[in-house]
Amino acid sequence: MSGHLLEMRGISKSYPGAQALQQANLSAGAGEIVGLLGENGAGKSTLVKILAGAQQPDGGEILIKGVPVRFKNTREAAACGISIVFQEFNLCPNLSATENLFLGHEMRGGLGLLSAQRMREKARESFSRLRTEIDPNALVRNLGVAQQQIIEVAKALQQNPGILIMDEPTATLADKEIQILFAIMRELKQRGLAIIFISHKLNEVLEITDRVVCLRDGRNSGEIESKSADADKLVSMMVGRDLGRMYMPRQSKRSAEVVLEIRQFARPPHVNNVSFQLRRGEILGLAGLIGAGRTELARLIMGADKKTAGTLALNGRRIEIRHPADAVACRIGYVSEDRKRLGLVLGMTVRENCTMTVHRQIVNRLGLIRRRAENEIADRYISRLQMKVSSREQITRNLSGGNQQKVALAKWLAIHPDVLILDEPTRGIDVGAKAEVHQIITRLADQGVAILLISSELSEVLHLADRVIVMHQGRLTADLPRELATEEAVMKAAVS
């Protein structure tokens, strides 16, 4: 490592009604990976957006190789060797993977025409270097969130940056994909890149970084060498409170009563002859690598996709779910892995999002929503889930990730579910919010809700679940009681 390639000194930024950053500092040397931690709303994303030219600071200075710089836009930052993998995908869903990769810097032939073949070949090479197979011609809207994340990483590396910012790059990846990404990061480090790594997964931060900088309420709250740190020290710097019970095993209150039974569900190639039972008060973990078919199975249960074979029984009675509205009527809820695109309407209020699943219950004979009833439902879940909102009328887009996730949960809790499918329920939220979501999940199970928990974070599955089922290439490969559900057993089933 040779000196500071990057220095951000005394950066301040305010928005209407909120001070996002107050005299924040961040530095990184060539060949150094720096972790940037903090709860949602601590100012991490604002700080790196300023570095990437996406936002302008109110005060402070940025130095690259000791030279003061100020970027008016992302193009100026990119020209200075700064590239960012944003937490929120910045892809065009109706364009192909190749078109997204080269958007704004397309390859052209001698006559100035687009060289589609060369771009496809380069795209294939880029994805191959990231040890993944993505069809260069595939439309982004048809790809899973993990594949979209890989495209974002490939886009950032296309610019040959000197400073690479990675904002939650592993949030949608399974362990295998994360280790591939870390291997690439280590290669980039050896080439002299300065990397800013943002993640809520503390084990990842400790594994991949050289140094960790923490923010709290827009200010620096601590800095430590990674080799001298542990998760408790990081949490203390970030939130200043004890979260030691976040992964304490729960005392199961599941009954023998089968609430949901899936028999021979199929939609090749993603789901093939999957069968399992889910009991009242049970948290059933569904593990597997990215592409194993977990989300596809959840969508079949909800009627979001049409199955080609199989039956579903609810409380011992066979039913047919052809549409998500049928699932809602049967009191089956589904918190999607992509809350911003599929789980919430970000431009609507907290009130409107919390009640969108129960409109039929709160309309009068004229078809108009009974506002008092709507307000009561929204207020109930704002209080019950301890949402940090200014009011029920706050626009959902302006909430932190953890509070957005609580709104997504509230939407489904409003139907008083018998079955609740949770797909990556803590993706992209900080450790404090994660602990709160875990407590909510446990409390729901204790109240008799049957929960199917899908998570790529294996520690989350192993600590919350009463039982773990594992998928590989669309098939169920293991059904493990808690006492046999070890990391080794789950991973063996996930790859074979």
pLDDT value, residue 447: 93
Q: For position 479, what pLDDT does the model report?
A: 95
Name the token pair of 35. Answer: 């972790």
Confidence (pLDDT) at 240: 65
Q: Does the domain spanning 258-331+415-494 belong to CATH 3.40.50.300?
A: yes
What CATH class is the domain 2-239?
alpha beta
Which pair of structure tokens corresponds to residue 469?
């089922």
Asked whether residue 341 carries a pLDDT value surpassing 70, the answer given is yes
Name the band, by pLDDT with cuts 50, 70 and 90, for residue 168.
confident
Can you tell me which residue has the tokens 């496809």?
A: 120
- Cα angle: 291, vertex 297, 301; to 5 degrees: 160
Band of pLDDT at residue 1, cut at 50, 70 and 90: very low
> Which of 7-11, 88-92, 171-175 comes out lowest in average pLDDT?
171-175
Are 135 and 97 in contact, with CB atoms under 8 Å apart? yes
242 pLDDT more than 80: no
Express each pLDDT in 202-217 by its tens digit.
Answer: 889 999 999 999 998 8
Grade residue 170 by pLDDT with cuts at 50, 70 and 90: confident
CA 496 to chain centroid, in Å, comes to 26
Q: pLDDT (tens digit, 9 = 90+) per residue, 361-370?
A: 888 888 888 9
Domain with CATH 3.40.50.300 in the chain: 2-239, 258-331+415-494
Least confident of 54-68, 108-122, 197-211: 108-122
In whole angstroms, give the CA distance from residue 97 to residue 269.
21
Cβ-count burial 48-84 (b if 16+ within 10 Å, e if not): bbbbbbbbebeebebebeeeebebeebeebbebbbbb
d(CA 99, CA 107): 10
Strands 467-472 and 450-454: unpaired
**Token pair for residue 424?**
């990556």
